[in-house]
């Protein structure tokens, strides 16, 4: 398996707060990527949502990852 182009993919919570990956975002097969809720400088391994408040609920939520066409590729409740 080769690198995965995730340009236009979104990560969202159950309430519909959504982050869209920036253009040119490619993830290598063995890579780990962190998505931080707040602001900061993006790197190849860490991206920042830029949200001004909390997104994830401490009492449980759902993480939805959609590809660029909107199809759900990951749905993970917690």
Query: pTM for the complete prediction?
Result: 0.87
Answer yes or no: is pLDDT of 60 > 90: yes
Answer yes or no: is pLDDT of 1 > 90: no
> 68: pLDDT confidence band, cut at 50, 70 and 90?
very high
Whether residue 15 contacts residue 3, with contact meaning beta carbons closer than 8 Å, is answered with no
Q: Write the CA distances from 12 to 7, 28, 58, integer angstroms.
A: 15, 22, 15
């Amino acid at each position: 398996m080769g690198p995965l182009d995730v340009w236009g993919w979104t990560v969202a919570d159950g309430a519909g707060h959504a982050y869209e990956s920036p253009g040119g975002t490619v993830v290598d097969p063995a890579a780990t990527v962190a998505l931080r809720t707040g602001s900061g400088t993006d790197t190849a391994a860490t991206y920042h949502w830029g949200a001004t408040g909390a997104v994830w609920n401490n009492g449980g939520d759902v993480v939805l990852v959609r590809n660029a066409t909107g199809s759900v590729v990951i749905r993970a409740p917690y």
